[in-house]
Structure 1
């Protein structure tokens, strides 16, 4: 029943709701060197980007492109792009300044680092979109990767892309606690890009569960990645990406938590087909794993089973085996008399439902005109304006629990590698 899909290059846009003309101030007091994060009027929210790469500015690999969506929001302007590759950052500004929304990019500057941006005259931006390789953010202990804490202390609202880190789950847990402490003090908003929570497909599944009153007892995730065009050496290096469960299947782990609650660490059992198994259609050197040490290469297949605190059970299979660009992704939810099949959430989403006392699978109506990527950034910008995070479906404190679960699964699978021995040099 698994469906074939791809990451479409086109954008689907959401019809925007009216944004409040004037925002209320949030409460909270300042302490130490922390700057109070004040909501903005509907006329102007200054946004900066940390990272000039594909997640913020688009890539042929998929539909993600935060700047393209943010341009559609009234009152959003762009103040800076921070990236060591200043030439690329300036190219982004030049291209977008010449586009339909070029007026939003007037005065946008480039900086080699977010620290340089914070130190520049004119003060910090209102909000930052963090689109960095996970090695370079998500740390509490490494001063070269503690951007979230530093921006939070400066009172800068943040939208952080997954994966949150490559650090141990324990460190990210401590980071999450520190960020929550700062948030209570200065009201800074920190959201995370788990976009599927905003998908009409997922909302429709939630609606069916609510209508039937069914309690999920089982969830099955299957994620077959197509690897031919993943031309990013970092992705193939677990030290830089965290591995495919942390970097990619994290979206399904997050959805499983969204439907079933928290995973019990001690219940996780996992095995993997390790990196000694060769792949025949990977990108040419040096864009894949050719220069990556064997012990840091990614697993080819990971299979895990686990229990949730709710009593439900789950299984997840991730593979990096398909050729070309089409992925095969599917999530099933099982309850008494109820079977939900969420097909192809990246490409052409479809929800099939078998209801109690029926043997027929019926396709639910889904609004395919709504764009989950636009909805997540819209919810974030609205929260920055009014100081109310209730529309944000993935706040950092919750997302840290999804990251924790992916690290648990990865650790369990690495203790159970399968596959032939590496060939002799």
Structure 2
């Protein structure tokens, strides 16, 4: 039995808890939240002890794994305390706003030798796996990504100092997929603007963000993201351009021109990110985890570098390990 604790019991934590309820051998033993009623509600629904002090929970409750599902600004020492006790870690994206803190956590995880996983769920889709297989050994010219949506209702999300903005908090999924498909991003240049959401209370985030990327392979790329669709709607995609063909990840894999390439996507469901994490712990097979903390930190570092570039007006080289 894999005994699991949670720090944070908000929306994304509830999603993971529901998925873990379907995983054989997973048992939730403790749930911590700064809002006691929320912790108690989650414990009543999913089992385990309700807590409000994560340090005490990590110290006192026997567990094999800890999920850290908290807002970007709230990361502190939960990960390092868990790693030092030999507890495996699942950390929701983005793993940090402060790269220095992320590097410290990463070093503690490395020293402890525990397994770690980051919530980049797109890596676990059949479409992403099919695209990655297709692209292996091929020369990529360009990678572009887009994510256009609205402003979530969570108050901290619209505060730049707390969320890091849409690119850091949300569109990091598309940035991570770009890295997963095309390799490391070694230079970032970004421009941001707030054009249409200035009337929203406490909105200090940009509503339009554009960044260009240089990949280690020599390929170039770009990402655009906007939270201007305040009444709903939007889209997201990642497109990879090769010679004579482009391939797009969206709701399905699209190839243009039609028939220019064959990319078979398995109809068999893949183990989801939570099942894969639990199975990795059960078997000791780290290859089941598609984004370790270190890998997830590299995706966060690209987005943090974009924020720095937008602020300074200069290209920035992100941390790549």
TM-score (norm 2): 0.90
Residue 94 of structure 1 deviates from its aligned partner by 2.1
| Residue-by-residue CA offset, 1:149-180 (whole Å, 9 max, x unaligned) | 1110011111100111111x244234323321
Query: Among 201, 209, 233, which residue is 1:290 paired with?
Result: 201
Q: Could you say which residue in structure 1 is the equivalent of 2:178?
A: 256
Query: Among 111, 115, 122, which residue is 1:181 paired with?
Result: 111
Provide closer, same or farther for how the CA distance between residues 175 and 77 of structure 1 changes in structure 2, counting only shifts above 3 A.
closer
Query: Among 222, 240, 245, which residue is 1:333 paired with?
Result: 240
Q: Could you say which residue in structure 1 is the equivalent of 2:70?
A: 132
**Aligned structure 1 segments of 4 or more residues deviating by more than 4 angstroms:** 358-365
Residue 269 of structure 1 deviates from its aligned partner by 2.0
| Distance in 1 between residues matched to 2:262 and 2:233, nearest whole Å | 22
Q: Could you say which residue in structure 1 is the equivalent of 2:12?
A: 55
Q: For the Cα contact (< 8 Å) 1:201–1:342, is it kept in 2?
A: yes
Q: What pairs up with 1:164-243 in 2 under 5 angstroms? A: 164-167=95-98, 169-183=99-113, 188-210=114-136, 213-227=137-151, 230-243=152-165
Q: For the Cα contact (< 8 Å) 1:214–1:338, is it kept in 2?
A: no
CA RMSD of aligned residues (A): 2.2
Residue 363 of structure 1 deviates from its aligned partner by 8.4
Q: Could you say which residue in structure 2 is the equivalent of 1:402?
A: 299
Q: What pairs up with 1:92-103 in 2 under 5 angstroms? A: 92-96=42-46
| Distance in 1 between residues matched to 2:109 and 2:66, nearest whole Å | 15
SS where residue 226 of structure 1 aligns?
A: coil
User: Which segments of 5 or more consecutive residues in structure 1 lack a partner in the other structure?
Assistant: 1-43, 58-64, 97-104, 138-144, 283-288, 344-348, 417-425
| Distance in 1 between residues matched to 2:254 and 2:193, nearest whole Å | 31
The structure with more radius of gyration: 1
Residue 359 of structure 1 deviates from its aligned partner by 5.9
Greater relative contact order (Cα < 8 A, sep 6+): 1
- Matched residues, number: 314
Q: Could you say which residue in structure 2 is the equivalent of 1:24?
A: none
Q: What pairs up with 1:141-156 in 2 under 5 angstroms? A: 145-156=76-87
Which structure shows the bigger proportion of residues in helix conformation?
2
Residue 364 of structure 1 deviates from its aligned partner by 5.2
TM-score (norm 1): 0.69
User: Which segments of 5 or more consecutive residues in structure 2 lack a partner in the other structure?
Assistant: 314-321
Q: Could you say which residue in structure 2 is the equivalent of 1:314?
A: 221
Q: Could you say which residue in structure 1 is the equivalent of 2:316?
A: none
Say yes or no: does 1:89 pair with 2:39: yes
Q: Could you say which residue in structure 2 is the equivalent of 1:158?
A: 89
Q: For the Cα contact (< 8 Å) 1:124–1:156, is it kept in 2?
A: no
